[in-house]
Amino acid sequence: MDRITVTDVHKTFQLKPGQFVTIDGQSTDSVTVLDGVDLTIRKGEFITLVGPSGSGKSVLLDIIGGLTQATSGKVEIDGKVITKPDPKTGYVFQQYALFPWRTALANIEYALEVRGVGKRERTDKARYFLSLFGLSGFEDRFPNQLSGGMQQRVAIARALAADPQVLLMDEPFAALDAQTREILQSELLRIWEKINTTVVFVTHSIDEAIYLADRIVVMTARPGRVKEIINIDLPRPRDGDIRSSTEFNGHRGRVWEALRDEVNKAQKDWALSPVYAA
Ligand SMILES: Nc1ncnc2c1ncn2[C@@H]1O[C@H](COP(=O)(O)OP(=O)(O)OP(=O)(O)O)[C@@H](O)[C@H]1O
Ligand SMILES: [Mg+2]
């Protein structure tokens, strides 16, 4: 059954008055970032989204999350057109985005509080989700008393505790060291396998994209479109060893093949447009 349908989504940003960029030799005051994105995501599916920098991955995620409006086209979740953030959609960003004045437990409780969950139940649930991520004993720590990996665990626990039907993750592990990153990938899969949430996960890491995904969506260089969708038929549950398998290696080749030209194009694009150099 389909959960998310993205139909012919376009997004053009109007630059500030007096601001221009040069695209394909032409000076222009607007930039088209997404140029007809079509995508159908099934219920419970784990999608990873890859593409060169500037291909509109974050903008697409924001549109799916209702944080940004498409210029044209539409996004539907369970048949409902998305025009604003939906309480059934959770978000995890690259930076932890925890409330610094709340403890780990209270950060998770907050997500439940805004959904009207009673005090007792929210504490129990927050404790349970912290324990799922190996954070029992850290309930009373404030974010600045936790490592980056722990903070990101809390951020993911907070998003999952709210029982989202859709979880949008924008490079959530990019700021972490390689070992912590692999551990969190495995933890995320282990928990996702239990809860049937639909995940859209943006990453620049090909290995991460393969390890997590049911399907990888490869975006073109700006203006972003879906270039190719690659099925990852590796068996589940997956463990880290799968990365050294022949099948995994085959996927690496396919994904890189799809990405290579786009990454080259994106680099030329930045050289022309000062806005992309920022
Ligand atoms: N509010 C905005 N106004 C103008 N341009 C914007 C705005 N938001 C994003 N853009 C432009 O849209 C393009 C796509 O941005 P987006 O952040 O979605 O790229 P991305 O694929 O997520 O890149 P990265 O991999 O670097 O995160 C970028 O060139 C960016 O400059
Ligand atoms: Mg981005």
Q: Which domains does the chain have, with CATH numbers?
A: 2-49+60-86+189-277 (3.40.50.300)
Collapsed DSSP state (helix, strand, coil) of residue 197: coil
Is the CB of residue 136 less than 8 Å from the CB of residue 130?
yes
CA proximity to 200, closest of 60, 74, 82, 81: 60
Q: Give the number of whichever ligand sits closest to the CA of residue 57.
A: 1
Q: Whose CA is nearest to atom 12 of ligand 1?
A: 33
pTM of the model: 0.93
Question: From the CA of 140, how far away is ligand 2's center (Å)?
Answer: 32
Question: From the CA of 19, how far away is ligand 1's center (Å)?
Answer: 16
Q: Choose one of 10, 50, 58, 64 to mutate for the ligand 1 pocket test, by most ligand atoms within 8 angstroms of C-beta.
A: 58
Is 57's C-beta closer than 6 angstroms to any atom of ligand 1?
yes
Low-confidence stretches of the chain (pLDDT < 70) are 270-278
Residue 44 CA to its chain's centroid (Å): 15
Is 13's C-beta closer than 6 angstroms to any atom of ligand 1?
yes
Is 273's C-beta closer than 6 angstroms to any atom of ligand 1?
no
Burial 180-195 (b: 16+ CB within 10 A, else e): bbbbbbbbbbebbeee
pLDDT of residue 275: 46
Burial of 26 (0-12, 13-18, 19+ CB in 10 A): exposed
List of E strands, 21-179:
21-23, 26-28, 30-42, 46-50, 72-77, 80-81, 89-92, 166-170
pLDDT of residue 23: 79
Q: What is the DSSP letter of 48?
A: E
Q: Give the number of whichever ligand sits closest to the CA of residue 277.
A: 1
Q: Choose one of 13, 29, 275 to mutate for the ligand 1 pocket test, by most ligand atoms within 8 angstroms of C-beta.
A: 13
pLDDT in tens, 64-110: 999 999 999 999 999 999 999 998 999 998 877 899 999 999 999 99
How far is residue 53's CA from residue 65's CA, in Å, rounded to a whole number?
20
pLDDT of residue 277: 36
Q: Which residues place a Cβ less than 5 A from the ion ligand 2? A: 57-58
